[in-house]
Amino acid sequence: MKKQGIATVDLGASGGRVSILARGGDGMSLEAVHEFNHPVHVLSQRNADGLAVRRYWNPGVIYENILAGLRAVPGDVELASVGVNGWGSDGVWLDRDGCLLGLPSQGRETRWIDANREIEAVISDRERFRLTGVRNEPFCPVNLLHWCARHNPRLVELAETFLPMPALFNYWLCGEKTAERTWIGAGQLMGLDGAYSAEIFGKLELPLGKMPPVIAPGTTLGPLHPLAAEATGQAGCLVTVPAQHDTACAFAAARALAGADDDTLVISAGTWWLSGVELPDAVTDDAAYDAALTNVPGDSGWILHHIGFGSWPAQELRRQWSLEDAKTMSWDEFNRLALSDSGDAPVIDTNDARLLSPENMSRALCDCAGASSAGRPRLARLVYDGLVATTAKLVDNLAAASGRRAGRILIIGGGARNDALSQRLADAVGIEVLAALPNATTAGSALIQARALGWIDSLADAAGSLPLAAMRVFRSGGNGPEAV
């Protein structure tokens, strides 16, 4: 007899992963069956203002890899469900026949920064924060919609529907055009009541009539359409929408791990460094805004958090140095470089706009540090010291805004593997740091689908059912992790 399975499709900024949660007589297991890269295409093209650089996603490549992942399901597993989650920006325009109207643009484009300046003249970011709970970032979907509506109205006129990137793949899998609440809410498009913000759409003259219906996490859309079922051999599989915003999936997994404990500051550590706490309601006062905090909808309630660049500067340094050395630099080697630097060093703001998308990350970091040049150890240390200092300040800011003082820190995501950074954080903040769930987004997506299928009653009850990664503890003054 075959095991029952749930497939999670996790789409990140540089690649994706298809994983399978399988349930049988011997309990549950969670493993990746297909991993892939989907690089951004950086193209130069002519426009009315001359030469422009544009960054595009290739959704066809991503979709083919989703199908490849579903074909890679072990033979002793029968899929009951598949769910797709992804980053909280970027989307596509579809015409009335469901065809793509061009390639989707990527969230680091300067057009979205220009769009936000235009939006600010109509409705301030502080007011948008009050209405939606969300601070604007260059990649916020409201900027994309505004830019298209104002600068490419012909495109919007031709379109029948705008779909978030994860929702596009649901459409191709089962034919349903929807948008999930956590994704829409992360982009300054949703009011605090869970519906599209009539004030945002009205004042900015955005095409509300072309937006898909908003659904909740755990909604089942229907079976794979016949072509997808035939291509994957998964005729009995349903498409179930988890939280489509990867942050909400990651925090759902953290809740399963931490249970009812509400004094845990969760850091979803990856390309972005998302640090926050879950609350019943969004916090939209001036104090939260001035502290650079923002809210996004979670699987339930709201996540009050701070968005930082995270390992992005370190990733760019590794990429740059790997090209220079003609071999891939490991994270262990990067960590050794950071630990080898000594002497006084400036503490930079790792969220400095100069680090968002520089042509050369080494030069950008030197600029932030007020230095003409720096060696590799100092550059690696600048990134880590900046992350630690930002988090130490954040502990105080979140306590003031939420009324909760963090008693411990839980690091999840890829950054949970970085022992050097976890120990530095424990030393700087003076509270216990836990590291677990490097596959947090995958686990959260699987758990939300499992709840929808009735496999579990709630996320809080799931920790004993799902094999979660071993947790490690770092304490101030310690010499590394203690296994739990």
Query: Per residue in 145-188, pLDDT tens?
Result: 999 999 999 999 999 999 999 999 999 999 999 999 999 999 99
Q: Looking at the structure, tell me whether residues 285 and 154 fall in a common domain.
A: no
What's the DSSP call for residue 471?
P
Q: Looking at the structure, tell me whether residues 82 and 216 fall in a common domain.
A: yes
Q: Read off the CATH number of the domain in which 345 is found.
A: 3.30.420.40
Q: Looking at the structure, tell me whether residues 294 and 254 fall in a common domain.
A: yes
Q: Is the pLDDT of residue 389 over 60?
A: yes
How would DSSP label each residue in 357-406? S-S-HHHHHHHHHT-S---HHHHHHHHHHHHHHHHHHHHHHHHHHHS---
Q: Which of 241, 259, 292 is a domain's end point?
A: 241
Q: Looking at the structure, tell me whether residues 34 and 172 fall in a common domain.
A: yes
Nearest C-alpha neighbor of 190 from the set 349, 344, 302: 302
Q: Which of 185, 208, 241 is a domain's end point?
A: 241
Contact between 463 and 470 under an 8 Å Cβ cutoff? The reply is no
Going by C-beta distance under 8 Å and a sequence separation of 6 or more, which residues neighbour residue 481? 419, 422, 423, 435, 472, 473, 474
Summarised one tens digit per residue, pLDDT across range 400-450 is 998 888 999 999 988 999 999 999 999 999 999 999 888 899 999 999 999
Domain count, the chain: 2
DSSP three-state, residue 330: coil
Confidence (pLDDT) at 55 = 84
Q: Is the pLDDT of residue 45 over 80?
A: no
Looking up tokens 């596959």, which residue turns up? Answer: 439
Type and span of the H or E element at 34: strand 27-37
Confidence (pLDDT) at 405 = 87
> CA 27 → CA 23, 78, 99, 475, distances in Å?
6, 15, 43, 33
Hey, CA dihedral for 160, 194, 239, 269, is it positive or negative?
positive
- C-alpha 57/C-alpha 418 separation (Å) is 29
Q: Looking at the structure, tell me whether residues 482 and 352 fall in a common domain.
A: yes
The separation between CA 12 and the C-alpha centre of its own chain, rounded to angstroms, equals 7
- φ and ψ of 112, to 5 deg: -75, -30
Q: Looking at the structure, tell me whether residues 305 and 217 fall in a common domain.
A: no
Nearest C-alpha neighbor of 142 from the set 89, 98, 100: 89
Q: Looking at the structure, tell me whether residues 338 and 374 fall in a common domain.
A: yes
The average pLDDT across 92-104 equals 96
Q: Looking at the structure, tell me whether residues 305 and 345 fall in a common domain.
A: yes
pLDDT, greater one: 288 or 43: 288
What is the gyration radius of the CA atoms in the chain, in angstroms? 22
Residue-range definition of the domain harbouring residue 58 = 3-241
Q: Looking at the structure, tell me whether residues 347 and 381 fall in a common domain.
A: yes
Q: Which of 222, 241, 260 is a domain's end point?
A: 241
Q: Looking at the structure, tell me whether residues 98 and 197 fall in a common domain.
A: yes
Residue 136's pLDDT band, with cuts at 50, 70 and 90, is: very high
Q: What is the mean pLDDT of the chain?
A: 92
Summarised one tens digit per residue, pLDDT across range 224-274 is 999 999 999 999 999 999 999 999 999 999 988 876 567 899 999 988 889
Burial of 281 (0-12, 13-18, 19+ CB in 10 A): exposed
Which percentage of the chain shows pLDDT scores above 70?
A: 97
Q: Looking at the structure, tell me whether residues 284 and 353 fall in a common domain.
A: yes
Considering the entire predicted model, what is its pTM?
0.89
- C-alpha 198/C-alpha 195 separation (Å) is 8
The average pLDDT across 291-306 equals 94
Q: Is the pLDDT of residue 367 over 90?
A: yes
Confidence (pLDDT) at 368 = 97
- C-alpha 259/C-alpha 376 separation (Å) is 41
Contact between 188 and 128 under an 8 Å Cβ cutoff? The reply is yes
Q: Looking at the structure, tell me whether residues 226 and 170 fall in a common domain.
A: yes
